[in-house]
Amino acid sequence: MSRIGKLPISIPGGVTVSVAKDNTVTIKGPKGELSQKVDADLQVKVENNILEVARPTEQKRHKAMHGLYRALLQNMVIGVSQGYTIQQELVGVGYKAEAKGQILEMSLGYSHDIHLQIPKEVKVEAKTERRSNPIITLTCADKQLIGQVAAKIRSLRAPEPYKGKGIKYVGEQLRKKAGKSASV
């Protein structure tokens, strides 16, 4: 039995779950609505505010799909009830970020500013306080989408290992290299 797949998902108040004939699960909550098509072999049941995923056999493929879809549905339930937030910090002299609607304008030490279009499902904020690094805050109900957007922002200027300059996640510990040593 899959250790992840066999765990039941409790549905909090204010969240509704519906399963269509084609095995599409739609979850609605205060933060939004998400849907996921589940593999045709798996069975999704909703009883007494508990969501369960069952598999037909012990095949390796069914075991893998069992854990995968249970985790995806759990992420959807958390997303529509609480939401997900990712904070990123811009470390470097002159690095700036400004949110104008769904466009994120960043100055990252290149010869030009970078304008990044953020999907409409993701809410973006950029905050700059005196004597601290600018912080970009992303908020969304879809865990996969917010992670993808955060990875795209980070890829524009990944932290380098010598000074630690770049875009990093808040709370992330970077391993720094010693650099060049003077020969004696």
Tell me the domain boundaries of the chain.
9-81, 84-169
Which position has the token pair 């069952």? 54
Residue 184 pLDDT: 54
Out of 2.40.30.10, 3.90.930.12, 3.40.50.620, 3.40.1190.20, select the CATH number for domain 84-169.
Answer: 3.90.930.12
Given its phi and psi angles, is residue 17 left (phi above 0), alpha (psi -120 to 50 degrees) or beta? beta
Residue 94's identity, in one-letter code, is G
Condensed to tens digits (0 to 9), the pLDDT of residues 76-122 reads 999 999 999 999 999 999 999 999 999 999 999 999 999 999 999 99
Contact status, residue 43 vs residue 63, Cβ threshold 8 Å:
no
Provide the whole-model pTM.
0.89
* pLDDT band, very low/low/confident/very high, at 1 (cuts 50, 70, 90): very low
Contact between residue 84 and residue 102 where contact means Cβ atoms under 8 Å apart? no
Matching fold, domains 9-81 and 84-169: yes
Q: What is the pLDDT of residue 4?
A: 86
3-state SS of the chain is CCCCCCCCEECCCCCEEEECCCCEEEEEECCEEEEEECCCCCEEEEECCEEEEECCCCCHHHHHHHHHHHHHHHHHHHHHHCCEEEEEEEECCCCEEEEECCEEEEECCCCCCEEEECCCCCEEEEECCCCCCCEEEEEECCHHHHHHHHHHHHHCCCCCCCCCCEEEECCCCCCCCCCCCCCC
Query: What are 9-38's pLDDT values in tens digits?
Result: 999 999 999 999 999 999 999 999 999 999
Return the CATH number of the domain spanning residue range 9-81.
Answer: 3.90.930.12
Q: At 182, is the pLDDT very low, low, confident or very high (cuts 50, 70, 90)?
A: low
Q: Give residue 3's pLDDT band: very low, low, confident or very high (50, 70, 90).
A: confident
Query: Which residues, 6 or more positions from 127, have their beta carbon under 8 angstroms from its beta carbon?
Result: 134, 135, 137
Give the total residue count for the chain: 184
